[in-house]
Amino acid sequence: MEARQETGSRTANHPIADILRPESSRLVGCWNVRTLYQTGKLAQVLKKMESYGISLLGVSKARRTGFGKRQLASGQTIAFSVRSDDQHDQGVALIIDQEGHKTLIEWKPINERLMSARFNSAYAKLTTVVCYASTEVAEDTEKDAFYDQLQKVI
């Protein structure tokens, strides 16, 4: 699957489509995929996304490295925010369909557990936040730091 990687710029060109029309609806989903690092896993996720008709899919536990945005050969776009080291642990991503990509204003990788994306429309602007919260066994300081960052994003 060929893709074009974009890591330098986190803002997109001026949107040319209208994703939020009153007469239409969009499906938004979230999925803990456990990994996108395995061979073929991204293709499976894209196939399910298409079969359910999902326009925006927030993905947790992406397990990639670094941050970036790639245009996939299938037309979708994936923006991801994960650890910068080589651990392939945690991470969040947002998969956007072709029409949604045309309205993407900007995306912000915050850390391996948070990212946001902003979309344009003639009627309203849409901001999505993809997050992956700490589990119950995490230290209280780690949980507090996550929720503080989430509050700042919101």
Span 1-39, pLDDT tens digits: 444 445 434 455 555 566 677 777 888 989 888 777 677
Mean pLDDT value of segment 109-133: 87
Number of domains within the chain:
1
Q: At 38, which CATH number? A: 3.60.10.10
Q: What percent of the chain has a predicted confidence (pLDDT) above 70?
A: 80
Question: Mean pLDDT over residues 83-104, rounded?
Answer: 79
- Domain, as residue range, for 60: 3-153
Coil/strand/helix, residue 117: strand
Q: Tell me the percentage of the chain whose pLDDT exceeds 90.
A: 19
* Contact residues for 138 (Cβ-Cβ < 8 A; gap 6+): none
The span from the CA of 1 to the CA of 39, in Å, is 11
Q: Which of 10, 138, 32, 145 is nearest to 91 (CA)?
A: 32
Q: The whole model's pTM is what?
A: 0.78
| Tokens of residue 112, six digits | 């391996």
Q: How far is CA 43 from the centre of its chain?
A: 16
- How confident is the model at residue 152, as a pLDDT? 93
How confident is the model over 57-69, as a mean pLDDT? Answer: 80
Q: What is the pLDDT of residue 148?
A: 92
Residue that wins the pLDDT comparison between 125 and 54 = 54
CB neighbourhood size of 40 (10 A): 8
